């Protein structure tokens, strides 16, 4: 029986299904050495908490398939995997709605001060003073950075709220503009007009740390940043400074440089920030759909078939 490593949470029935055909071994998330104790894997079901880089790949000569539980695959060195003929897949599409839904919730929570108002009632402030007024979300402008599947779903969800959607990608996507859901804008123009700027770009060498002080300076002082992508897309010290000195009004963050975010982070002490524990796709329904797709990808890859959502099949086997 071939060995399959599991380094991501998986429902019991899907683990049992894999165990009928493979020797299933739990390998703690984040493991990057000492693999001898677990055996020689043919497949690996993992997520963003586990690096699959060139050094790890070099230790696992029998590995043929990596199934990443998540759409973002920045923890996998795809070129290194491809040169080692390791098939890699991810789980796109099934989480678009869940991530867009949470983003919509955060837009409403920031605009209407929902989390701040909850604190205000609980700490007894209501007994002493009237609450600060919030702002209409209707009639605002949302800037989407990285208009992909999730950005498009977000544009659909906010349309009935009377929110104008601008987006910035390296190149415009004519089908998006033609659909009327969103309009491509120059970077500076989008940041200057947006009341909410929402990040949905993958973390790559190009996007690492790309949102920095000069970008916050282009935003309105009344605007909010929402990060649903990866913490490292934003330069965190610049974000903290922009929040402290009022360059922007606030932020809602689902992702961080370091996860779990330590409670000692300066972000945890800020009243104008809403924090989420990397919750974008974290619903029962969506996580189930992601794991099912990830397991199907793993099984197909191990049988030598094309996974449903491969990342490097064509590079390894040709179109």
Catalytic residues: 230, 259, 278
- Position among 4, 47, 195, 253 found at the interface with ligand 8YV (CB under 6 A): 47
Q: Does 8 bind ligand 8YV (CB under 6 A)?
A: yes
Tokens read off for 307:
């996974």
Structure tokens at 80: 């290194």
Q: How far apart are CA 66 and CA 86, in angstroms?
A: 7
Q: Are 69 and 294 in contact (CB under 8 A)?
A: yes
d(CA 76, CA 9): 18
Give SS3 for 103: helix
Task: Give the nearer residue to ligand 8YV in terms of CB position, either 236 or 281.
Answer: 281
Tokens coding 213: 């002080």
**Residues of this chain, 57-76, that bind ligand 8YV according to CB under 6 A:** 69-72
* Nearer of residues 72 and 151 to ligand 8YV, judged by Cβ: 72
Distance between CA 179 and CA 168 in Å, rounded?
Answer: 16
Nearer residue to ligand 8YV within complex by CB, 10 or 194:
10
| Residue from 95, 150, 261, 311 binding ligand 8YV (CB under 6 A) | 95
Min dist CB 319 to ligand 8YV, Å, is 26
Segment interacting with ligand 8YV (CB under 6 A) among 24-32, 110-118, 203-211, 275-283:
275-283
Query: What is the smallest separation between the CB atom of 281 and ligand 8YV, expressed in angstroms?
Result: 3
Residue 89 binding ligand 8YV, by CB under 6 A: no
- Minimum CB distance to ligand 8YV smaller for 34 or for 260: 260
Q: How far is the CB of 51 from ligand 8YV (least distance, A)?
A: 14
- Smallest separation (angstroms) from ligand 8YV to the CB of 95: 6
DSSP per-residue string spanning 192-260 = HH-SEEEE-PPP-TTTTT-B-HHHHHHS-TT-EEEE-S-GGGB-HHHHHHHHHTTSSSEEEES--SSSS
233 closest CA partner among 212, 259, 263, 261: 212
CA–CA separation, 147 and 165 (whole Å) = 11
- Rounded alpha-carbon distances, angstroms, from residue 77 to 81, 84, 87, 122, 232: 6, 11, 12, 46, 16
Choose the binding region for ligand 8YV from 103-111, 145-153, 170-178, 274-282 (rule: CB under 6 A): 274-282
Query: Is residue 96 involved in binding ligand 8YV (CB under 6 A)?
Result: no
Residue 163: both structure tokens together: 């929110």
Q: Which is nearer to ligand 8YV, 223 or 291 (CB)?
A: 291
The least distance separating ligand 8YV from the CB of residue 236, rounded to whole angstroms, comes to 17
Q: Give yes or no for a contact between 69 and 45, defined as CB atoms under 8 angstroms apart.
A: yes
Instruction: Give CA–CA dist 145/236, Å, rounded.
Output: 17
* CB 70, min distance to ligand 8YV, A: 2
Binding site for ligand 8YV (CB under 6 A): 8, 47-48, 69-72, 95, 278, 280-281
């Amino acid at each position: 029986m071939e060995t399959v490593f599991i380094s991501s949470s998986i429902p019991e029935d899907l683990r049992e299904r894999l165990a009928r055909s493979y020797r299933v071994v739990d390998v703690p998330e984040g493991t990057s050495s000492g693999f001898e104790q677990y055996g020689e894997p043919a497949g690996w079901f993992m997520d963003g908490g586990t690096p699959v880089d060139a050094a790890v790949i070099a230790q696992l000569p029998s590995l043929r398939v990596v199934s990443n539980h998540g759409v973002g695959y920045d923890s996998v060195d795809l070129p290194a995997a491809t040169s080692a003929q390791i098939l890699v897949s991810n789980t796109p599409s099934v989480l678009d709605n869940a991530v867009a839904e949470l983003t919509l919730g955060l837009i409403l929570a920031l605009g209407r001060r929902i989390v701040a108002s909850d604190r205000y009632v609980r700490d007894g402030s209501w007994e002493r003073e009237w609450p600060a007024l919030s702002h209409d979300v209707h009639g605002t402008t949302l800037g989407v950075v990285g208009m992909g599947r999730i950005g498009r779903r977000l544009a659909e969800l906010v349309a009935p709220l009377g929110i104008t959607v601008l987006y910035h990608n390296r190149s415009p996507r004519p089908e998006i503009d033609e659909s009327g859901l969103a309009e491509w804008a120059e970077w500076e123009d989008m940041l200057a007009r947006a009341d909410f700027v929402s990040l949905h770009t993958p973390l790559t060498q190009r996007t690492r740390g790309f949102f920095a002080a000069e970008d916050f300076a282009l935003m309105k002082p009344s605007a909010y940043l929402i990060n649903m992508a990866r913490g490292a897309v934003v330069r965190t010290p610049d974000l903290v400074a922009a929040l402290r000195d009022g360059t922007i009004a606030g932020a809602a963050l689902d992702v961080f440089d370091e996860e779990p975010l330590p409670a000692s982070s300066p972000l945890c002490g800020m009243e104008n920030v809403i924090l989420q524990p990397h919750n974008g796709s974290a619903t029962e329904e969506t996580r189930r759909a992601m794991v099912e797709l990830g397991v199907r990808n793993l099984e197909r890859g191990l049988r030598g078939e094309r996974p449903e959502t491969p990342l490097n099949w064509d590079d390894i086997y040709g179109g």
